[in-house]
A and B are shown apart, each in its own frame.
Chain A
């Protein structure tokens, strides 16, 4: 079955300051979508609004014409690395086990099979050998892989990742993009907040380009072109190509 996530006329403001204005777009199952835009464009805000984590001034976010709230347990979220307390007393394995919580519901503890499933997810990101380490002992890329494993453990249909490629090593990057592509081929919908323009074409098939307002949304070939980019980044394209971005 094919799902459709649709964002309609979403506006968000903090203390009277408009952060997002009338953003609308729509995506189907089996897509890996990059949310792109300059610093302060409202990328993370858009993701948080989509997840219902912050109040909206107006607009709706629906999956198959039903409010997103209905699908909460089918949604996996990978936070920005800077939002996590890496000194928290928790091991890699227990972090991934948290991914099984939404399906367990209240009053149920993770059982043996939940823990085995968590290990299976750790295996997929190549982090089994680190299962008993405290999460702060890992490198940035390894930490990101562990949180991706946690998202996998949720058996979700919709994935939301906030800046997963920031400050990570090449091999972790390969592992993560491999898994995201696999999720895409399984018919999931994956949203990724991203700000590095250099690898956009390698990573994504679809893009949402924003700078407070929606600049454009759709296939990479259509969205990722100089006129759009100039509008989004409010500076000449030549400077963008100076930064090593191929258009």
Chain B
């Protein structure tokens, strides 16, 4: 129980703890909508594409938040523009745009700062969370959760049946870009905890785990948040106790939870499906 004691003792650990939980929750919330809308790759793209924004912010001496949001949104529009105005399919345009942004980001950041910073941004270092990072994460988190609660109905219908949503007058394209904006915010908030490369695991994996366990969107969002937060705490624990990089540990924790659901989910799990199939055969 050394970890719990340390958690009560050290302020830096408390900040890391609070930040991790918030990051886990909002990644689960936004991730749920991302995977239902078939935009998992988009999550990967935006998370990589914030890198040049972070670098430029360093150079200008402003908070990395502004630059990251700027290049994140730019990427979303860039991908949209290529998909709509050419015959290039959306997965290709996603790969095309984000690899360019990511490459630019790596060059800029090696110019701007030392290599240690690059590692931190790429793979996360939850123990280095400062007060300002924590407050930023809490502010972004509250905004994301509030928006999802207020517009839950519209998010549900536009994710489920976009044509009907458009037919009754919802601005579905606006909703798409609003989700991209929230996704960018969530990515920026996750930078310290999981890092650019592995944010996608926090977005996709807890939501996918939840997807296997329920038939209701609201419960899926709650479960995804729970799994996200749990994974983040596991990541923090290993990072603190065994000096491991937090991002990869969190990514593996999300995967572990997913495998449990994949094998043992009452409805979708392959173990129960096999058992049911076996029993049916026995009866026949």
Q: With A72-B168, A90-B217, A98-B157 known to touch, is A107 a contact of B163 (CB < 8 Å)?
A: no
A79 and B215 contacting across the interface, CB-CB below 8 Å: no
> Which interface class (under 10, 10 to 19, 20 to 34, 35 or more) fits B?
20 to 34
A90 and B168 contacting across the interface, CB-CB below 8 Å: no
B156 CB–A CB distance under 8 Å: yes
A residues less than 8 Å from B167 (CB atoms): 51-53, 72, 75, 77, 160
B residues less than 8 Å from A107 (CB atoms): 150
Q: With A94-B216, A109-B153, A134-B215 known to touch, is A85 a contact of B160 (CB < 8 Å)?
A: yes
B164 and A98 contacting across the interface, CB-CB below 8 Å: yes
Summed over the interface, the residue pairs from A and B with CB atoms below 8 Å come to a total of 71
> What is the minimal beta-carbon distance from B141 to any residue of chain A, in angstroms?
22
> What is the minimal beta-carbon distance from A26 to any residue of chain B, in angstroms?
21
B-facing residues in A66-89 (Cβ within 8 Å): 69, 72-73, 75, 77, 79, 83-85, 88-89
A89 and B166 contacting across the interface, CB-CB below 8 Å: no
A residues less than 8 Å from B217 (CB atoms): 88-90
How far is A73 from B168 in the complex, measured between Cα atoms in Å? 5
With beta carbons under 8 angstroms apart, the residue of A15, A85, A101, A109 that contacts B168 is: A101
How far is A109 from B43 in the complex, measured between Cα atoms in Å? 29
B residues less than 8 Å from A90 (CB atoms): 156, 160, 215-217
> What is the minimal beta-carbon distance from B102 to any residue of chain A, in angstroms?
30
B160, B215, B217 interface centre (most CB from chain A within 10 Å): B215
A-facing residues in B144-184 (Cβ within 8 Å): 150-154, 156-157, 159-161, 163-164, 166-169
A53 and B163 contacting across the interface, CB-CB below 8 Å: yes
Q: With A88-B160, A90-B160, A107-B150 known to touch, is A102 a contact of B214 (CB < 8 Å)?
A: no
A184 CB–B CB distance under 8 Å: no
Q: Which residue of A lies closest to B267 (CB)?
A: A134
Q: Which residue of A lies closest to B172 (CB)?
A: A53
A98 and B154 contacting across the interface, CB-CB below 8 Å: no
Residues of chain B touching chain A, judged by Cβ–Cβ distance below 8 Å, are 36, 87, 150-154, 156-157, 159-161, 163-164, 166-169, 211, 214-217, 219-220
Contact sample, A vs B, 25 pairs, CB 8 Å cutoff: A48-B163, A52-B167, A53-B163, A72-B169, A73-B169, A77-B163, A77-B168, A79-B164, A84-B160, A85-B36, A88-B36, A89-B214, A89-B217, A89-B220, A90-B216, A95-B160, A98-B157, A101-B153, A102-B169, A104-B153, A106-B151, A106-B154, A107-B150, A110-B153, A154-B168
Residues of chain A touching chain B, judged by Cβ–Cβ distance below 8 Å, are 15, 48, 51-53, 69, 72-73, 75, 77, 79, 83-85, 88-91, 94-95, 98, 101-102, 104, 106-107, 109-110, 134, 154, 160
